[in-house]
A and B are shown apart, each in its own frame.
Chain A
């Protein structure tokens, strides 16, 4: 009997071990190295300077005026894209929910941007949509007799938010469409018979039904949006100034443009701390919906 009990505990552990062990290595080794680098003097351009640095690197990174800007930009980017994509995703999912001619084709058109890779997304918007002379937006404002906007210079962070929203809205929409399909038809019908308006249905039937899907969408988006990189790298390079620099891009600049491994590692530790703060707030806020 006892051998059976040990066996029944041994096998599940054996089965989960490949994932747990590899992830543990994938997390601990880089984390350990980053902490170590952040505490030493390590600049690839001046290899003769070395030794223990204490809090120097952290101090250097945090007193960099770009630091607070980048934290601020990271959070603005995250918040705006999540609100825009969930809002539009919900509205569009509700719009195309009931059958109409060409519904499946419309659905395919709507979800396509989700499959576009970040570098293509960035270049497509930078050149063909937002170019102040030849771009589509410039042509539209020209048509209405307005002065064209130089998007990436005048509102760099806004432009990046537009690109990211275009990419993530279809993801939100796709999940909401699926969630809507499992709505209880009879319940909807009954509420209509009882004279419920569309907005009452929205408030008391649709939204509660969608709560868990919304939580899932926010969770996934936050994971990917905290470390946006390619869109900034291929369009604004964080500029002008630090207007579109997020924390991920600032660390990249420190490491690969200034070759300061020590400061970049200290920055990475800050990024990890910020991510954990966001994660804790997020789990507090929507954790109830993710619990079964």
Chain B
């Protein structure tokens, strides 16, 4: 007889309402940003805020005219994609080696790797800046790709390691007994089993690189600047131009947020560092 799968008692209703309320509060700043992007500048700073108005696309065209959006977007896309792929190519073999042929040193090497992440980026800024200047790589995609790859590498190795460790040794040994080469073992045994972990590692690094601001702000500008740099250029204090700022922001975070929504289940799998069995 029961139609609803929920038990509608008072506690349940309170929980549901509370959950929706919390989600609304957390999401509200983003909602406000999205709505403001479609207002005129005057509507944007109206008090009290307008929620019903005739939307305009003017801000988006103006952002595109003022600063070449596609160029910044391409820089973001290329640097984050290439650094993620490069990072996986370097991190997968070493995580494989740590997980399946551990030695007494393995633990120490991995702790050392993570400890490089504890070094504040600003501590390396001057040397890295000078080295890139010397190599003529300032304001280039290559510089950002190198920096993103290296700063994500320790996290990638850790995530992949905890993922590989869940794969039973025996399966790999069996394939080795059958005379599979290392590549065959990787291609036909490990890859199918570890696909989920690799995907979530890649996804996280994509998000981290896309959103990276410290190195992007300090190493790049007009030529190789990413979307984080584009948005920062709207922070100048002259006048209030919320609508254009919102449009630029929305254009900068839109792709990665939509990407995040679709991949969140996959993303979280590897993020737990094996904390969830």
Contacts and interface: CB of A to CB of B under 8 A. Distances in A.
Say if A and B assemble together: yes
Interface of A: 8-9, 11-13, 15-20, 22-23, 26-27, 29-31, 33-34, 37, 92, 95-96, 98-103, 105-120, 122-129, 133-134, 136, 138-139, 142, 166, 169-170, 174-175, 177-179, 181-182, 212-213, 215-216, 220, 222-223, 226-227, 229-230, 233-234, 247-249, 251-252, 255-256, 261, 264-265, 268-269, 271-272, 275-276, 278-279, 283, 292
Given A110-B23, A272-B123, A30 B128 contact: yes
A223 B152 CA distance: 12
Contacts of B274: 292
A229 B97 CA distance: 35
B228 A117 contact: yes
B120 A247 contact: yes
B191 interface: no
19 contacts: A11-B97, A30-B127, A96-B22, A101-B16, A105-B23, A108-B264, A111-B264, A115-B256, A116-B211, A119-B235, A127-B242, A128-B33, A128-B242, A139-B49, A178-B271, A227-B122, A247-B120, A251-B123, A292-B165
Main secondary structure of the interface of B (DSSP, over half): helix
Contacts of A106: 19-20, 23
Given A100-B19, A227-B121, A230-B217, A174 B271 contact: yes
Contacts of A111: 260, 264
B84 interface: no
B253 interface: yes
Contacts, number: 288
A215 B22 CA distance: 25
A182 B253 contact: no
Interface residues of B, number: 97
A82 to B, nearest CB: 15
A100 B26 contact: no
Given A15-B94, A116-B257, A279-B115, A271 B276 contact: no
Contact of B214 (A100, A213, A229): A229
A215 B275 CA distance: 9
Interface in B100-131: 100-101, 103, 109, 111, 113, 115-128, 130-131
B276 to A, nearest CB: 5
Contacts of A118: 211, 213, 228
A99 B5 CA distance: 10
Contacts of A230: 213-214, 217, 228, 232
A136 B47 CA distance: 9
B222 interface: no
B197 interface: no
A45 to B, nearest CB: 15
Contact of B30 (A96, A99, A112): A112
Contact of A179 (B49, B211, B240, B272): B272
B150 A26 contact: yes
